[in-house]
A and B are shown apart, each in its own frame.
Chain A
């Protein structure tokens, strides 16, 4: 049981390049999330998904796209990277929760992205 995994762990991009971050979970969770973490700003939600084939915008969605073709995978894409997207990206998943059980999110180890 690996939990939530993310690939790659590190990446350096030049401005304008594109890339895809992959998140995978083996806990059969319905909900999945992408966050970015910047110093002094906590975690900010980029996009999320409440099930296979569905996605929605979070707090800071501009410049990112996502897809959830399979329940266990959630992809985050950067179409044209900008230096402002230099950050640490975290994926998380959760069980929807019922009668006090669940609700907490489980996080992957993160991807450190630098855009030059």
Chain B
């Protein structure tokens, strides 16, 4: 079965420290992977994606993610966290069973950055 797992419900980081939000996936074939951020009472905003190419993908707001095929992971990272990064983060993988572009989302990880 195709799935996405975000093993941490919440991640707490001090401002200025590096942050990592974890994501693992299970799909058949080569995965298309995505990260989204949701601020309170807002819709999801696209951060970055991995389709093919370099394993390190750079996205919006200084975020990056590393695709690791052997570990089936796609962890989101940022070298220096900001209080304004506090939000809900979702990892997603494209459902490869069809051509509809459907995404399978993880349950989300709440990131809290303290001053």
Contact = CB atoms under 8 A, between A and B. Distances in A.
B51 A45 contact: no
Judged by DSSP, the binding face of A is: strand
A106 B46 contact: yes
Nearest to B32: A103
B52 interface: yes
Interface residues of B, number: 25
Contacts of B45: 107
A48 B100 contact: yes
A103 B105 contact: no
A109 B102 contact: no
A58 B47 CA distance: 24
A105 B101 CA distance: 9
B106 A90 contact: no
Interface of A: 4, 31, 33, 40-45, 48, 50, 56, 58, 90, 92, 94, 96-97, 100, 103-110
Interface of B: 9, 32, 34, 36, 41-46, 49, 51-53, 90, 94, 99-103, 105-108
